[in-house]
């Protein structure tokens, strides 16, 4: 004869176990290549929104229309240089995802440090001190660049043991 009380208790225990497990959230590890690509995307958004929001200033619009916003003369060479400089983080999204680790790590470190220097130079260029919104975005940009450098420097090695499930995204 089967004891129904034991069966019910067992079923309740299984259901309780399922409820507990269902509310435990996973915290998977993101592949370092994807993490770096995401940081470069975030950096590009900060660059973009910093410049876009600056266009809400009347003096910026007037400066652009006159060909010298913030006292910086806009020439074809300037525009080409800006295009090249802003192409770098765009390519870094791709390169972070596809380069082999032995090349990826130093490239990310070097390019991030270059962008940190570029950020410092940008802070000193122009007729006046940057407005609060511009300075805030520059702080965020600096933090993202620091994170790119840090995560690249701390690149996981073959011996690294992961205690969480991995979210390895295969890019072929």
Q: What residues does each domain of the chain span?
A: 29-156
Write the DSSP symbol of residue 70.
G
- What is the rounded distance in angstroms from the CA atom of residue 58 to the CA atom of residue 64? 10
Contacts of 139 (CB under 8 A, 6+ apart): none
Confidence of residue 39 (pLDDT cuts 50, 70, 90): very high
pLDDT at residue 40 greater than cutoff 60: yes
CA dist list (Å): 108 to 27, 47, 91, 112, 114: 25, 18, 11, 6, 10
What pLDDT shows up at residue 97? 97
Q: What is the mean pLDDT of residues 127-144?
A: 87
Question: pLDDT higher for 55 or 117?
Answer: 117
Q: What is the mean pLDDT of residues 42-48?
A: 95
Angle between helices 76-98 and 101-124 (to 10 degrees): 150
Least confident among 53-67, 117-131, 152-166: 152-166
Question: pLDDT higher for 19 or 125?
Answer: 125
- What is the rounded distance in angstroms from the CA atom of residue 144 to the CA atom of residue 48? 14
What pLDDT shows up at residue 71? 75
What b/e string do you get for 146-164 counting C-beta neighbours within 10 Å, with b at 16 or more?
ebbbebbeebeeeeeeeee
């Amino acid at each position: 004869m089967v004891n129904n009380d034991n069966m019910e208790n067992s079923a309740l225990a299984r259901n309780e176990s399922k409820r507990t497990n269902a509310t435990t959230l996973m915290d998977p590890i993101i592949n370092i290549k994807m993490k770096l690509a995401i940081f470069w995307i975030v950096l590009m958004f900060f660059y973009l929104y910093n410049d876009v929001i600056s266009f809400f200033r009347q003096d910026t619009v007037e400066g652009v229309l006159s060909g010298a916003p913030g006292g910086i003369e806009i020439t074809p060479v300037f525009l080409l240089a800006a295009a090249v400089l802003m192409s770098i983080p765009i390519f870094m999204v791709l390169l972070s995802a596809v380069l082999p680790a032995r090349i990826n790590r130093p490239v990310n470190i070097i390019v991030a440090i270059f962008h940190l220097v570029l950020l410092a130079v940008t802070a000193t260029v122009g007729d006046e001190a940057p407005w609060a919104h511009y300075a805030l975005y520059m702080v965020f940009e600096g933090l993202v660049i620091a994170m790119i450098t840090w995560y690249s420097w701390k690149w996981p090695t073959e011996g690294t043991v992961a205690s969480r499930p991995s979210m390895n995204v295969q890019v072929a």
